[in-house]
């Protein structure tokens, strides 16, 4: 069942911003590359809900509706079972909850690999139903034709190279990439290929740092690192990892808060008050006048 993006989204915002903010654009993101190593890095986090988007939006340049929602929201073992319906529903929610960031939606496994035409059908549906500014897809040289096909038809594409989670079965795991000379050469060639094809930016995930630095210095499009290097043009993390919602996270994640502990403690206090019948109290109940 598909969702439909409504142009008038103001009524769905639970907490509208007090001062209107002008949303960034894909060309604005591209121009940030021109500032080079001395410029301000691009900030990207994942978002899956309207409320999460509201909280992250003032601090980010881009919000990624990642297919990681399969694991984070739905408890799936990997991203491979994520559907186009899921991505459209969550993408629309994030667009409704944001005002400033460029919203990018992941294309799920199986929705674009078959042919450029299949990719266009999937990407155009995402764009139409969510109101997002761009899509992201995994793959380098193998996806160059598809990236070009989409870009030439007005769909901005963010590429994703290095460790590509949708290909985890072929890669044999989630380990760092680029340690062999063959892998190193392939990742560099992938970066060059997606740029030639028209990608406006590229995520570089789980590669040894020299590769990420070299690509950042040679490519003319922004590089967004995740497990790569602080010298990339920007960074992205899964928000729930960054906030400490899970016991296990990848090595490249820095935990900025431990919300799992906070939520667990709050739930324990609530449960205790319910069981001792101290909640709800006078302030939470209605009395006759």
Q: How far is CA 101 from the centre of its chain?
A: 12
Alpha-carbon span 276 to 194, nearest angstrom: 61
137-150 burial: b if 16+ Cβ within 10 Å, else e = bbbbbebbebbbbb
Q: Consult the annotation and say whether 247 binds a ligand.
A: no
Catalytic (active site) residue 205:
yes
Select from 26, 81, 12 the least CA-distant residue to 198: 26
The catalytic position among 145, 182, 205, 240 is 205
Count Cβ atoms within 10 A of the Cβ of residue 169 and give its class: 0-12 exposed, 13-18 middle, 19 or more buried.
exposed
Alpha-carbon span 63 to 84, nearest angstrom: 18
Q: Consult the annotation and say whether 101 binds a ligand.
A: no
Q: Consult the annotation and say whether 67 binds a ligand.
A: yes
Q: Consult the annotation and say whether 68 binds a ligand.
A: yes
Query: Could you tell me where the DSSP H helices lie in 134-254?
Result: 144-152, 168-171, 181-197, 209-218, 239-242
Q: Consult the annotation and say whether 81 binds a ligand.
A: no
Alpha-carbon span 229 to 182, nearest angstrom: 20
- Residues annotated as part of the active site: 205
Annotated binding site: 67-68, 106, 136, 138
Annotated binding site for Mg(2+): 67, 106, 138
């Amino acid at each position: 069942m598909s969702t439909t993006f409504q142009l008038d989204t103001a009524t769905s915002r639970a907490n509208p911003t007090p001062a209107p903010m002008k949303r960034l654009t894909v060309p604005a993101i591209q121009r940030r590359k021109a500032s080079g190593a001395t410029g301000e890095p691009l900030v990207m986090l994942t978002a899956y809900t309207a409320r999460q988007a509201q909280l992250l939006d003032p601090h980010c340049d881009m919000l990624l509706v990642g297919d990681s929602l399969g694991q984070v929201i739905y408890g799936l073992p990997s991203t491979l079972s994520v559907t186009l319906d899921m991505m459209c529903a969550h993408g629309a929610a994030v667009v409704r909850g944001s005002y400033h960031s460029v919203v990018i939606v992941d294309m799920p496994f199986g929705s674009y690999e078959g042919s450029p035409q299949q990719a266009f059908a999937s990407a155009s549906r995402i764009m139409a139903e969510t109101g997002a500014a761009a899509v992201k897809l995994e793959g380098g040289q193998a996806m160059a034709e598809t990236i070009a096909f989409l870009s030439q038809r007005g769909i901005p594409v963010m590429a994703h190279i290095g460790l590509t989670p949708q290909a985890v079965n072929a890669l044999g795991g989630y380990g760092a990439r680029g340690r062999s000379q063959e892998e190193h050469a392939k990742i560099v060639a992938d970066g060059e290929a997606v740029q030639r094809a028209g990608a406006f930016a590229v995520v570089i995930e789980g590669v040894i740092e020299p590769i990420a630095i070299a690509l950042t210095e040679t490519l003319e499009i922004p590089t967004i690192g995740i497990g790569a290097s602080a010298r990339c043009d920007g960074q992205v993390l899964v928000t729930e990892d960054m906030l400490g919602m899970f016991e296990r996270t990848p090595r490249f994640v820095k935990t900025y808060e431990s919300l799992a502990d906070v939520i667990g403690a709050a739930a324990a206090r609530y449960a205790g008050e319910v069981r001792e019948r101290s909640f709800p109290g006078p302030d939470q109940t209605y009395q006759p006048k």
